[in-house]
Amino acid sequence: MTLEFPILRSLATRVPVVTALIVQVVAFGVVLGLLSRPLAHLPSPWSGYALLVAWGLLAALGTVLLLRSAWWWPIQVVVPWVVLLGIRADLPPWIWLVALVGSLVVFGGGIFTRVPLYLSNPSAWEALSALAAPGCRAVDLGAGFGGPMRALARAQPTGQFLSVEASPVTALVCALLALPYRRVQVRWASLWSQSLTDMDLVYVFLSPVPMERLWAKARAEMRPGSLVVSNTFPIPGVAPERVIPLTGRTDARLFVYRV
């Protein structure tokens, strides 16, 4: 027998981190409701520790089943202990709010796209600059701090370059770093709202999750012959025109696709 919960499945696919959080809260409620009485017979502090272990294991099981991805379990098992440490450290409650808001403004742009913040290295900038034709219009979708487009502007005496970033603080840093560059623009926006019709080159360094959708968008909007260049993550089922190895990580390479 398989149980299907379409709403939970869709939430799990779209925002795994929120799903993991909800599972933690539910596991806490279940364990507290079912086990607090029987465990109260154990001597202190063992009853409390047993509760934390049961809470973590239940959360891990629920998350692995819902997200169908095993690497969540160590995170979920550790969370109750982090909560305990937080309580014991007697931190003022506003610290948690500040930590949450701080994470959202730096990493929030990637929650729905499931793309964290990590940066292309200079070897990627160099290979990208060699691919850009003089006078080209290029965009970095999910620009982080904007290194790739600034590097293009330095390498190309002509052309227009755009960095699109969804996380507010990251976009602000990107905009400040781009101030000295006349030909680099920065947009604080979702990459899905960015029109690609005028672009000769799209650069991305995202994750495996959005690649198929991104290719569909590029094919629908870009002129034939323009380029989509993806750092590290290939487009599933599409043969790249070129693969350019990069220095650094062993899997670091640019996948070059022609629309």
Smallest separation, CB 156 to ligand SAM (Å):
17
Closer to ligand SAM by CB, 165 or 200: give it: 165
Smallest separation, CB 234 to ligand SAM (Å):
15
Closer to ligand SAM by CB, 62 or 110: give it: 110
Whether the CB-CB separation of 24 and 78 falls below 8 Å is answered with: no
Instruction: Please give the Cα distance from 195 to 232 (Å, whole number).
Output: 23
Helix, strand, coil proportions of the chain in percent (round to 5)?
A: 50, 15, 35
Closer to ligand SAM by CB, 47 or 190: give it: 190
Smallest separation, CB 73 to ligand SAM (Å):
25
Closer to ligand SAM by CB, 24 or 167: give it: 167
Closer to ligand SAM by CB, 106 or 259: give it: 106
Paired tokens of 23: 């599972």
Smallest separation, CB 208 to ligand SAM (Å):
12
Smallest separation, CB 45 to ligand SAM (Å):
41
Chain residues that interact with ligand SAM, rule: CB under 6 A: 109-110, 113, 115, 117-120, 140, 142-144, 147-148, 164-167, 170, 190-192, 205-206, 231
Q: What are phi and psi of 210, to 5 degrees?
A: -90, 5
Amino acid 151 reads: A
Question: What b/e sequence results for 190-229 when a residue is b if at least 16 CB atoms lie within 10 Å of its CB, and e otherwise?
Answer: ebeebebeebbbbbbbbbebbbeebbebbeebbeeebbbb
